[in-house]
Amino acid sequence: MNEIEKLYKNAGVEDKNINNQLYKDLNYPQFTAEKQLELIKWLCKNTYRNYLLIRYDFTNYYWQIECNMSDSDKTDKFSECLASITNNLWQDLTEEEKEQVREILN
């Protein structure tokens, strides 16, 4: 399971194939650019407004996202990095914050 699938699972977004025994692959909604942008805006506004660093390392070719209460995440795919940092923060979010993330992902 990749970080995006884990994020959808954490948020309780239902796999479209969950009731179909014929399909083994997960079929979550796309993690679109719009959803990613809304998630970035949400992180900046609501959760970790004091410190959110997003950068691309041109020397080592990876994305890096850091939050003040989470480990740094690094990967070559921005969407995976964003999902990973959100997954790492998930247990610290309030129920209201989790619901806001669910709304972004649906």
Residue 98 pLDDT grade (very low, low, confident, very high; cuts 50, 70, 90): very high
Q: 46 or 105, which is more confident? A: 105
Q: Encode pLDDT of 38-81 as tens digits.
A: 998 888 887 655 557 778 889 888 887 776 555 556 677 888 88
Q: Say how far apart CA 44 and CA 25 lie, in whole Å.
A: 33
Place of tokens 């480990």: 71
- Residue ranges of domains in the chain: 33-105
pTM listed for this prediction = 0.76
Q: Say how far apart CA 15 and CA 75 lie, in whole Å.
A: 25
List strands edge to edge, sheet with 52-57: 52-57, 62-67, 73-75
Residue 19 pLDDT grade (very low, low, confident, very high; cuts 50, 70, 90): low
Q: Say how far apart CA 68 and CA 53 lie, in whole Å.
A: 9
